[in-house]
Structure 1
Amino acid sequence: MSVIKKVNDYVENIIESSVVELFSDRFARYSKYIIQERALPDARDGLKPVQRRILYAMQQLGMFHNKPYKKSARIAGEVMGKYHPHGDSSIYEAMVRLSQDFKMRALLIDMHGNNGSIDGDSAAAMRYTEARLSKAAEALLADIEKRTVPFVPNFDDEELEPTVLPAKFPNLLVNGATGISAGYATKIPPHNFTEVVDATIAYLDNDQITFKEITKYIKGPDFPTGGIVQGKEGILQALETGAGKVMIRAKADIEEISKSQDCIVITEIPYEVNKADLVKAIDVLRIDKKIDDILEVRDESDQQGLRIAIDLKKGADAQLMLNLLYKSTDLQVSYNYNMVAILNHRPVLVGVLPILKAYVDHQKDVITNRSNYELEKAQKRQHIVDGLIKMVSILDGVIKAIRDSQNKQNAKESIMELFGFTDMQAEAIVTLQLYRLSNTDILALEQESDSLGDKIKELDHILSSEHALRRVIKRELIDISKVLGDPRRTQIEEEIETIKIDEKDLISDEKVMIGITKDGYVKRASSRSYQATLSAGLKQDDVLIFEKEVNTLDTLLLFTNLGNYIFLPVYKIDEQKWKDLGVYINNITPIAHDERLIDVLLVNSFKDNDYVLLATKQGMMKQSKLSDFEVTRYYKPMKCMKLSGYDELVSIDYGQKDDIISISKNGYVLRYKTDDLPLYGLQAGGVKGMNIGSQDELVSSLYVRDRDDFIMLTSRGHVIKDIVEELPVYSRNRRGILVIEHLKSNPHECVDAARLSKAQQKENVEVLIVTKNYALKTTVSELKYSGNKFGKKMYDDAELGNGYMIKIEDALEDVDLPKKEKKVINKPKDTIKVVDLLKEEEIMTKDHKKIHLNRFDLFDDNDE
């Protein structure tokens, strides 16, 4: 408090104010300043204050388009010292932009030297470059000396500067504007000079013109860099309201290098896109292999114009590559109109009609002010000329009166008193040079008087007639359009083309090796890496359950025990070496901690009108369309079957056939017609396909033909071969018949099964037998056995672990081979009819007891 008291003793006037009020007041004033005096253009001349001050200062220095260049540093210094109280760098940057032919549609400054480039290179320092006004800038400044626009004192009250330029053309629409201020921003594209002038003339002819009629003249933006603008609707909306969106697309041609190789050539790029960054972005796509078909990117731009050459690989689809580049790079960008300008000292979002009205109203003021100035000047001159003509008729008396005078003032008073001249006429007479007194000069004076009379009449007519005033504006617009107008550079297209690219179209068609392990590791390797590697890289105790050469355009469906599947396009798998472990599935798609892979399905096309068979451990089954498995977003596992309780998905099969067989762990097999199993969607849980006992579980369900065999893998490493045709056909939801005899100790439990067709046997295809920690590769011929009801022992389960999976490779031509005719053997009447007997799962004995039938009840023990 003592410090405050001491301060109060020395301060006479203390103004108390809250911080909120102070900040609010100061920021409001600051915002008003940067809105009106810095960042936003005036609707009348289309210039920001710094641009206006630069042009006016150059005009005052006499730096016209036909005069020598002067140093940019001198101009910046002149502007900074007299008109613009800011740093020279901001002034020079504004100068540079006004001189860049890739930013301005009508250049306002003609700069000599390095003024930057479309590659984003900055201009040379102002001490190196030189500049002068362009013809367009002179048109903006024309008649400024004729009191056409208001002037105000500069920042130190030592100079006067214009608040707006006369502007002989609508610069705001021709050159556009960009800027950001407090709470406001502006983004107005440049337009074609001739079109804007034609629209202005149409407005002059009819100030009640409709927006629809104006759009007949202004087609849309016309960028200095050319390009293609798409979206007529967005253009119309922007021209009407001031806000709208269009797409700007580079102009490209496809040139043929050879019969099978093309080159994309870019000759025009979107407005305000950095060419060097664009070329780099395209090359990065090539380096990162996001677009494999790009061979090389070259910037071939020179004095002849812009040119970016993109060489494609042989056989590449050039149009597809171009569309991809449009979608992935700045070869196509959006442009959002935000036509904010200062109108009546306020920032306003305006369409084209209010801008034209503001410009025409401004031109009326300019022409009116100029006409008043010229009228006053003409009237003064005519008054003087009339006095000179009068003087010639009394020349001798005038000369005598002047000679008799003591000085100039006395001479003026004498001739005014003697001959009735006005002060202005007398001043002209006494300052007249003697050679003007010749006889021929009187003729010139009389001609000048007549000319001045005509001019005064014309100016009076302009000032008194609105129609005449509009005619003058129109004539001057036509004249300036002939000098500065040029053809349109930007092409306008009606609709915005929606680019839809199937990612598969970008993938080169090639063969690769895919390996998927039991523990969920996925790897993709080139055929060369596969052939050069003796053994695949695997984690300890892990084995491959899928190892196949596939196409990069194929898709893998990885099914899990929790009723999910993972949609995995081959091209999405990162390429590695075959000796690498691969990528864990959880790093590709997150799965639950207790989720594991059970099978893999390779799909070439989802357009195949085929079905997938799904079965759970508790015997729930269904068929689903293969096409239902195709998805576009695959960032997580997809549901393929609804499970209940502790049930798990254990089996999938593909390729619908007439029959289905289901095999349980305890060796029961049920065969029924495929038509009995309903078709469900992926979210459904299915129906009971096989009746599973309390101590049993389903291990596999297969599509089969009646002439097929099927192979069962047991937990003890045996393979048991059986015949589909010998299985009775039941309805679904039955237990089936027993095909693997039960043993009290160390029983053979079925762990998996596979269909074996005649074609597979004929081609002797490869067989993969997987244990808990080992994979055994063999062929179909090695599965043959005789005389053992428990099949053939394929490996020592004590060393390699329990059985896990059996897979038989598909035949090249998997067709049902014709049946061979069997010899008919006459059997005794008391021979048991096996097939008829097996039609019943349970039979009644003589003592009226029900027993469950199995195949082994039909044979004696010595026939095992």
Structure 2
Amino acid sequence: MSSEPDVSDDAAARIETVRVEDEMEQSYIDYAMSVIAGRALPDVRDGLKPVHRRILYAMHEEGISSGSSHRKSSSIVGETMGNFHPHGDKAIYDTLVRMAQEFSMRHPLVDGQGNFGSVDGDPAAAMRYTEVRMAPIAEELLSDLEKDTVDFQSNYDDRLQEPTVLPAAFPNLLVNGSSGIAVGMSTNVPPHNLGEVIDATLHLIDNPECTIPDLMEHVEGPDFPTGATIVGRNAIRKAYQTGRARLSVRADYHVETTETGTDRIILDELPYQQNKSKLVERIAEMANEGDLEGIRDLRDESDRDGIRVVIELKRGANTDVVENQLLESVLEQTFGVINLALVDGEPKVLSLKELLGEYLRHRKEVVRRRSQFELDEAENRAHILEGRLLALDNVEEVVDTIRNSEDRDAAKEALKEAFGFTQEQADHIVRMQLGSLTSLEAAEIEDEYEEVQATIERLETILADESELLSVIKEELREIKAEYAEERRTTIVEDTGTVTDEDLIPNEEVVVSLSEQDYIKRVPVETYSAQHRGGKGIIGADLKEGDRIATVFTARTHDHLLCFTDQGQVYRLKVYQIPEMSRTARGTSAVNLLDLDDEEEITAVVATDDFEEDEYLTMATRNGYVKRTGAEEFENILSTGIIAISLADGDELVDVEVTNGASDVVLGTEKGMAIRFDETDVRSMGRNARGVWGIELEEGDRVAGVSAIREADDRTLLTVTRRGFGKRTPLSEYRRQSRNGKGLVDIKTDERNGWVAAIEAVAETDHVIAMSDDGQIIRMPVAEISTVGRNTKGVRVMAIDADDQLAGISVFPEPDAES
């Protein structure tokens, strides 16, 4: 037996040999074009995809208009799926839901009853629970559909006819926008204000040669249903000129001040298509992780009346900075404009003028076809009326002719032969009732005939003169605008560029204090008026019982600081992140700003803005070690801090100075000794190094601080003690020695003075801030402190209570003396 298959000659002739790759390529192209033209992209003429068009047409066919009662959504989905759209019911219902959402469409095309989802991303209720009917404005898309205004095609099973496009009495693609993803392309047309779009269309009709900037005098920009603000007009201009751009859309908010004096930021409107619940969740997450600072509480108070998300700020938080951080992270998003639509069945990216031009081309065709349809009807009616008028003029003869005829057909033929009636006229006259032969009826026919003749004349003028046709389009557009136009919701502001947190905060000198229990705050230095030395000062902090001031320093609000702790760690801190508070306030917990370990205290602060090329950070420990490390090793500081120096057991980091490689270093001890040596005596080391001996300490003595000086430095060395006494001494009195020596006597540390609290090289025009453990603070000019030699007691700088002592000092240039 033969193993070849039994194939007839006809079947064999129909077999075609093709390469697999060629067949796959062609099949994929066919599939892609099917998706592009039949599912994913809107038609430029009516702004609808097939599924939207079929849903509206199914409702139209079922008589579910804006004046009818609502119908179950499942009924509409079933009609659409069964007659016109051969796809899943979920896709059809999702489309129906979106057409009913006020936050999705600028002018919803469907009027819904029930749960149709929310801006929180909640899904709509099942289609068996919701009800819909056509929105009034949707009827404007379908108006004159029965007047041969558009082409029809067979539905998927050839049982019914469906429109290939809707007449669309307004530019729906621009008004409601559209989005979709096809094969290898996507569209994202933003919604616009109906009144503005119609005004631009009218302008284009009157000025066909107008430019896009001319049209932009009418269309300000997209107008989203959720309002919000578009930042920057350049992107809008690019979108209208090229059809593509990226718009920055920002949430709208306002700031309220509560009765307790704290601020709250209220979100009123969100960017288009932003999920509110995810936005709130993201803000909460960033606040908990420390990426958003200054937020105390967050809650969503939105209801049916609108959006209201409340962001409560901490006391002392800088509202401008929090606003800026929110805008940078969550409140501003990008809307990518892609004005891609089907033009004559092919996808094309369109400018604003092209979008309006294509709509006008469609609308002119609709009005022309409608006018021709109405003209044909009017001419047919005029023809019938002419026959009736002729019959009335010869009523007796007509009646006799009909009466003497054997049947209707014979009567029609006799009328045609006797009076010259056409077939249509004869048919009508034979069906006329006797009651229509009255004189009153005759007058009404004559009036109607005159009206029909006027209509014919008007329609012929429209068809013959394009300017008349355009006048009709303009009048109808004006009527749509008068009926449906609303106030603009989305505002547009100029893009002022990136605003940094520093831009929002004055760059002023502030005093920062940190307590042992980690309460931190900043206060403008102007809060403390300069006093004469020797005073007690004023209250600088309301400390908790048992708490004491650990550190005080001055800085500028724009400074980025390196905060060194006694345990050898270093942290990075922006000064403006420290809450600004009143002079007597306790402060906020530093754990919100710095990840300090228990019992860890800041002992030195350096402003990174001061760094220059080839500079070093020179560190001193309590036990006399000194170490020099290149400043570049501190460029990347983790939020959890990094190691600045390795410490021996029982040692701690006490002070840090910036040196330039050609400085001398002065170490001062608590018992009043000081040593000066060349910084190059200490080789540069890595961050993990311990350092080398800087001074040989007497038993019980410890290093109090370090200061850097230059060879020709005309400053003096300020030394202050725990009991509030101090002095200035010329730097020339501290001769250079080798490191690890015992040094020279700097100041007497007897019972009156107490031990040394700090040393600092100061200029004559500097001011000094001194703060006690109990929070007393005083500001004074450095010039108030006497200049005396070494090995002296000094003068009273600050009056200290018996149970209090000086915590530290900070030196800053006199404001008027700053360069």
Task: Provide the residue aligned with 1:396 in structure 2.
Answer: 396
Separation in 2, partners of 1:322, 1:498: 13
Q: Which moved more, 1:302-311 or 1:363-372?
A: 302-311
What do you get for the CA RMSD once the two structures are aligned? 4.9
Q: Is the 8 A contact 2:384 2:424 kept in 1?
A: yes
Q: Does structure 1 residue 765 correspond to structure 2 residue 769?
A: no
Deviation at 1:72, TM superposition (A): 1.1
Deviation at 1:265, TM superposition (A): 1.4
Deviation at 1:455, TM superposition (A): 0.7
Separation in 2, partners of 1:55, 1:170: 16
After superposition, the Cα gap between the structure-2 partners of 1:16 and 1:416, relative to the gap in structure 1 and judged at 3 Å, is same
Q: Does structure 1 residue 193 correspond to structure 2 residue 163?
A: no
Task: Provide the residue aligned with 1:432 in structure 2.
Answer: 432
Structure 1 residues 48-197: aligned runs within 5 Å: 48-197=49-198
Amino acid at match of 1:266: L
1:628-665, Cα deviation, whole Å (9 max, x unpaired): 9985777999999xxxxxxxxx99962789993699xx
Task: Provide the residue aligned with 1:847 in structure 2.
Answer: none
Q: Is the 8 A contact 1:513 1:530 kept in 2?
A: no
After superposition, the Cα gap between the structure-2 partners of 1:442 and 1:235, relative to the gap in structure 1 and judged at 3 Å, is same
Partner secondary structure for residue 131 of structure 1: strand
After superposition, the Cα gap between the structure-2 partners of 1:206 and 1:728, relative to the gap in structure 1 and judged at 3 Å, is closer
Task: Provide the residue aligned with 2:308 in structure 1.
Answer: 307
Q: Is the 8 A contact 2:745 2:791 kept in 1?
A: no
Structure 1 residues 34-433: aligned runs within 5 Å: 34-258=35-259, 260-329=261-330, 331-433=331-433
Separation in 2, partners of 1:246, 1:303: 28
Deviation at 1:120, TM superposition (A): 1.0
Separation in 2, partners of 1:613, 1:271: 50
Deviation at 1:556, TM superposition (A): 3.8
Task: Provide the residue aligned with 1:602 in structure 2.
Answer: 604
Separation in 2, partners of 1:217, 1:681: 68
After superposition, the Cα gap between the structure-2 partners of 1:565 and 1:69, relative to the gap in structure 1 and judged at 3 Å, is closer
After superposition, the Cα gap between the structure-2 partners of 1:632 and 1:491, relative to the gap in structure 1 and judged at 3 Å, is farther
After superposition, the Cα gap between the structure-2 partners of 1:671 and 1:272, relative to the gap in structure 1 and judged at 3 Å, is closer
Amino acid at match of 2:471: R
Separation in 2, partners of 1:673, 1:3: 110
Separation in 2, partners of 1:499, 1:819: 51
Partner secondary structure for residue 166 of structure 1: coil
Q: Is the 8 A contact 2:254 2:266 kept in 1?
A: yes
Separation in 1, partners of 2:407, 2:141: 47
Separation in 2, partners of 1:3, 1:18: 28
Separation in 2, partners of 1:634, 1:574: 10
Separation in 1, partners of 2:394, 2:749: 134
Separation in 2, partners of 1:123, 1:224: 19
Q: Is the 8 A contact 2:604 2:655 kept in 1?
A: no
After superposition, the Cα gap between the structure-2 partners of 1:556 and 1:152, relative to the gap in structure 1 and judged at 3 Å, is same
Q: Is the 8 A contact 2:121 2:275 kept in 1?
A: yes
After superposition, the Cα gap between the structure-2 partners of 1:3 and 1:108, relative to the gap in structure 1 and judged at 3 Å, is farther
Q: Which has the higher contact order (CA 8 A, sep 6+)?
A: 2
Amino acid at match of 1:501: D
Q: Is the 8 A contact 2:657 2:706 kept in 1?
A: no
After superposition, the Cα gap between the structure-2 partners of 1:437 and 1:311, relative to the gap in structure 1 and judged at 3 Å, is same
Q: Is the 8 A contact 1:367 1:473 kept in 2?
A: yes
Structure 1: gaps (5+ residues): 516-526, 533-546, 583-599, 641-649, 664-668, 684-689, 691-698, 710-722, 731-735, 738-749, 769-810, 823-864
How does the TM-score come out when normalised to structure 1? 0.68
Partner secondary structure for residue 226 of structure 1: coil
Deviation at 1:315, TM superposition (A): 2.9
Q: Does structure 1 residue 818 correspond to structure 2 residue 788?
A: yes
After superposition, the Cα gap between the structure-2 partners of 1:224 and 1:7, relative to the gap in structure 1 and judged at 3 Å, is farther
Amino acid at match of 2:605: V
Separation in 2, partners of 1:348, 1:72: 34
After superposition, the Cα gap between the structure-2 partners of 1:759 and 1:365, relative to the gap in structure 1 and judged at 3 Å, is farther
Q: Does structure 1 residue 494 correspond to structure 2 residue 464?
A: no
1:567-622, Cα deviation, whole Å (9 max, x unpaired): 644876534444xxx9xxxxxxxxxxxxxxxxx97215456799967599xxxx99
Separation in 2, partners of 1:337, 1:361: 23
Q: Is the 8 A contact 1:660 1:701 kept in 2?
A: no
After superposition, the Cα gap between the structure-2 partners of 1:702 and 1:402, relative to the gap in structure 1 and judged at 3 Å, is closer
Separation in 1, partners of 2:314, 2:734: 59
Structure 1 residues 531-570: aligned runs within 5 Å: 555-556=561-562, 568-569=572-573
Separation in 2, partners of 1:454, 1:112: 45
Separation in 2, partners of 1:217, 1:127: 43
Separation in 2, partners of 1:172, 1:508: 59
Separation in 2, partners of 1:446, 1:706: 117
After superposition, the Cα gap between the structure-2 partners of 1:188 and 1:623, relative to the gap in structure 1 and judged at 3 Å, is same
Separation in 1, partners of 2:157, 2:663: 100
1:151-197, Cα deviation, whole Å (9 max, x unpaired): 11111111111111110000011001110000110111100000000
Structure 1 residues 526-675: aligned runs within 5 Å: 555-556=561-562, 568-569=572-573, 573-578=594-599, 602-603=604-605, 605-606=607-608, 631=635, 654=657, 660=664
After superposition, the Cα gap between the structure-2 partners of 1:89 and 1:752, relative to the gap in structure 1 and judged at 3 Å, is farther
Separation in 2, partners of 1:758, 1:4: 117
Amino acid at match of 2:76: I
Deviation at 1:820, TM superposition (A): 8.1
Deviation at 1:305, TM superposition (A): 2.0
Q: Is the 8 A contact 2:263 2:313 kept in 1?
A: yes
Separation in 1, partners of 2:718, 2:663: 10
Separation in 2, partners of 1:508, 1:369: 80
Partner secondary structure for residue 310 of structure 2: strand
After superposition, the Cα gap between the structure-2 partners of 1:401 and 1:379, relative to the gap in structure 1 and judged at 3 Å, is same
Deviation at 1:314, TM superposition (A): 2.6
Structure 1 residues 818-837: aligned runs within 5 Å: 818-819=788-789
Task: Provide the residue aligned with 2:576 in structure 1.
Answer: none
Partner secondary structure for residue 501 of structure 2: coil
Q: Is the 8 A contact 2:562 2:608 kept in 1?
A: no
Task: Provide the residue aligned with 1:478 in structure 2.
Answer: 478
After superposition, the Cα gap between the structure-2 partners of 1:725 and 1:631, relative to the gap in structure 1 and judged at 3 Å, is closer
Q: Which moved more, 1:63-72 or 1:194-203?
A: 63-72
Partner secondary structure for residue 66 of structure 1: coil
Separation in 1, partners of 2:222, 2:569: 51
1:224-263, Cα deviation, whole Å (9 max, x unpaired): 1111111100000101111112211111111121262122
Of structures 1 and 2, the larger Rg is shown by 1
Count of equivalent residues: 668
Separation in 2, partners of 1:603, 1:318: 26
After superposition, the Cα gap between the structure-2 partners of 1:558 and 1:258, relative to the gap in structure 1 and judged at 3 Å, is closer
How does the TM-score come out when normalised to structure 2? 0.71
Q: Is the 8 A contact 2:674 2:744 kept in 1?
A: no
Q: Is the 8 A contact 1:250 1:332 kept in 2?
A: yes
Separation in 1, partners of 2:36, 2:73: 27
Q: Is the 8 A contact 1:708 1:758 kept in 2?
A: no
Structure 2: gaps (5+ residues): 519-542, 574-589, 621-625, 645-652, 668-672, 687-692, 694-702, 710-714, 720-728, 759-777, 793-819
After superposition, the Cα gap between the structure-2 partners of 1:162 and 1:661, relative to the gap in structure 1 and judged at 3 Å, is closer
Separation in 2, partners of 1:765, 1:821: 14
Q: Is the 8 A contact 2:45 2:165 kept in 1?
A: yes
Separation in 2, partners of 1:423, 1:417: 11
